[in-house]
Structure 1
Amino acid sequence: MTLDEETIAGLEREFAVFVRQDRAASGQLGREVHPDLKVAAYRLLAHLAERGPRRPTELACHVGVTAPTVSRQLQHLEELGLISRVQTLDDGRAYLVRLTEAGHRRVEEVRVARSRRLDKLLGSWAEEEIRTFAELLARFNGSAAAPPPRQCGGEG
């Protein structure tokens, strides 16, 4: 199926608006976790909350940054008391990153705030419309998922 240029242009505009609004909202919600927290660092916290302790290399692959970049972000999160490092059992040199109790609490606070925001945004929608939107968005995200630009060792 080939879409006409006007349809594609409209879709691109709407995606751009969505991404801008989501980044702004995520930035605000991230600052609610901690005033010094950056959006990218919040994504790391959310991934740890969802998946549990992870190696820094897996976190770098998940957010699409280099190991030194994720290392700086993790150091900042550790200084804020939101994560801690734990040694792995199989390799004394390696470590996993996990949320602290404060990190779990803060991520949950943001999850609740995001849910409230979505509830307000979709308050006038019928439940079936919301369900359909979620299904279509999941379908789109599934088809848009591309392999990472660099090898991530099958993690992510």
Structure 2
Amino acid sequence: MTGVKQERGVDAIREQLLASVGEQLGTLLSAARALTAASAARFHPDLQPAAFHVVRWLSAFGPAHAGAIAEGVAMDKSAVSRLIRDLKAVGILQAAPDPNDRRATILSLTPLGEKQMKKVFEQKGQVFLQRTQHWSNEELATFAELLRRFNTPPP
């Protein structure tokens, strides 16, 4: 009987710990969404926030076709096409013929787009620096390792 009672106590503790982790992950995701929305507004106030996702994807993965961008940001291709049109209109994106298929277009950031992304990344980086400035290197290493383990699917 003691083993069963002790097991239930361990299960209850684990459930509480998992609930706490879930709560903190929810807080992290909400804060990340808010930071991304603020970054999108700073990136270009005349653009929809979704346009920032397109630019961020291109910044991370480099020049691409519209279809690859739509897939990469998990948006409808027609919605991405409208965002691309808006981004080109304000000088953030440029289009060039695909050298492998002259009928296709490759999209990339303009120097202005790259400059704006660099500015936004620096501002976002300041938020992380402020939140971790009093952490030791060991704490940062532990945090990074735990996040890596959490983000790595089990085999």
Equivalent residue number for residue 122 of structure 2: 112
Return 5+ residue gaps in structure 1 as ranges.
145-156
Q: Which amino acid aligns with 2:75?
A: V
Instruction: Provide, for residues 28-73 of structure 1, a one-character-per-residue CA deviation record: whole Å limited to 9, x for no partner.
Output: 1221111123443222212212222111111111111121122122
Which structure carries more relative contact order (alpha carbon 8 Å, separation 6+)?
A: 1
Rate the CA distance shift 1:133–1:69 in 2: closer, same or farther, 3 A: same
Deviation at 1:131, TM superposition (A): 2.0
Rate the CA distance shift 1:42–1:87 in 2: closer, same or farther, 3 A: same
Matched, 1:121 2:128: no
The number of residue pairs the alignment matches comes to 143
Q: Larger C-alpha radius of gyration, 1 or 2? A: 2
Equivalent residue number for residue 92 of structure 2: 82
Deviation at 1:92, TM superposition (A): 1.9
Work out the CA distance in 2 between the residues paired with 1:127 and 1:30.
31
Maintained 8 Å contact 1:27/1:38: no
Rate the CA distance shift 1:139–1:43 in 2: closer, same or farther, 3 A: farther
After the TM superposition, which residues 1-156 of structure 1 pair with which residues of structure 2 at under 5 Å, given as runs?
Answer: 4-143=14-153
Q: Which has the higher helix share?
A: 2
Higher mean alpha-carbon deviation, 97-106 vs 16-25, is at 16-25
- Provide TM-score, normalisation by structure 2: 0.82
Work out the CA distance in 2 between the residues paired with 1:83 and 1:122.
34
C-alpha root-mean-square deviation of aligned residues, in Å?
A: 2.0
Q: Secondary structure at the match of 1:54?
A: coil
Equivalent residue number for residue 151 of structure 1: none
Work out the CA distance in 2 between the residues paired with 1:99 and 1:71.
15
Deviation at 1:4, TM superposition (A): 4.1
Deviation at 1:127, TM superposition (A): 1.4
Rate the CA distance shift 1:15–1:54 in 2: closer, same or farther, 3 A: same
Q: Secondary structure at the match of 1:65?
A: coil
Work out the CA distance in 2 between the residues paired with 1:124 and 1:37.
36
Work out the CA distance in 1 between the residues paired with 2:139 and 2:47.
34
- Provide TM-score, normalisation by structure 1: 0.81
Runs of 4+ in structure 1 deviating by more than 6 angstroms, as ranges, are none
Return 5+ residue gaps in structure 2 as ranges.
1-10
